[in-house]
Amino acid sequence: MGLFYTGKGDKGQSHIGKKKYPKDSPIMEALGDLDELNSLLGVIRSTAKKGLMQKLFLVQENLFIIQARIAWVMFKKFESPQLTQEKIFKMEQEIDAIEKKIQPKRGFIITGENKEASYLDYARTVARRAERSVVMLTKKQKLPEEIVAYLNRLSGYLYALARLEISESKMKEKKPRYV
């Protein structure tokens, strides 16, 4: 047993503090999905241009706040950081600015024209899954409303960033033909 493994989860339970949770419990699902999203954003950030890199780093910071807040609701043993309405408002402003800049058309698109945009679209779907997991958790445990609102806005933000990447690369995305 060491720093990288404990062996405590070998029987399908995770130990958080002094409590045990089944690995398929709503809290573990939510924390796992948020962790996966944060890791995926790190993959994207590792090859992104500086501006996108900074935007994704801030999102990663906020995901850690969300995870800490979820853990605080369960344990209340430490001072929990807050996810403020201001952070949601700033994200909305950025989404609005991107929309104004690129003037997207409505409709579905088939991703894959640009590597960064494709990864952002993938991250959007992982963000939606994390949001669903957190919503399921809120049915069992009250969480601050800002958490679900942030995650809901985050998927829109990632979609907007993907469309911005396409616009800046001067590529055209294809729409499904339904043939």
Confidence of residue 141 (pLDDT cuts 50, 70, 90): confident
Confidence of residue 168 (pLDDT cuts 50, 70, 90): very high
Do the domain assignments include residue 178?
no
- Confirm whether pTM is higher than 0.75: yes
Written as one letter, the residue type at 14 is S
Do the domain assignments include residue 157?
yes
Do the domain assignments include residue 121?
yes
The domain that holds 58 is classified in CATH as 1.20.1200.10
Most distant CA pair in the chain, distance: 57
Q: What is the mean pLDDT of the chain?
A: 90
- Within 8 A by CB and 6+ apart from 120, the residues are 44, 158, 159, 161, 162, 165
Dist. CA 103–CA 170, nearest whole Å = 14
Take residue 123 and report the two structure tokens written for it.
């991250």
Do the domain assignments include residue 140?
yes
- Within 8 A by CB and 6+ apart from 36, the residues are 126, 130
Phi, psi of 17 (to 5 degrees): 65, -130
Dist. CA 65–CA 86, nearest whole Å = 14
Q: Could you give the angle at which helices 145-169 and 115-138 cross, rounded to 10 degrees?
A: 170
Report helix, strand or coil for 15. strand
pLDDT of residue 59: 98
Dist. CA 144–CA 134, nearest whole Å = 11
pLDDT of residue 131: 98
Take residue 69 and report the two structure tokens written for it.
């807040």
Q: How many domains does the chain have?
A: 1
Determine the average pLDDT of the residues in 86-95: 97
CA atoms within 13 A on the CB side of 18: 2
pLDDT at residue 6 above 80?
no
With beta carbons less than 8 A apart as the criterion, state whether 8 and 15 touch: yes
Domain range for 27? 17-169
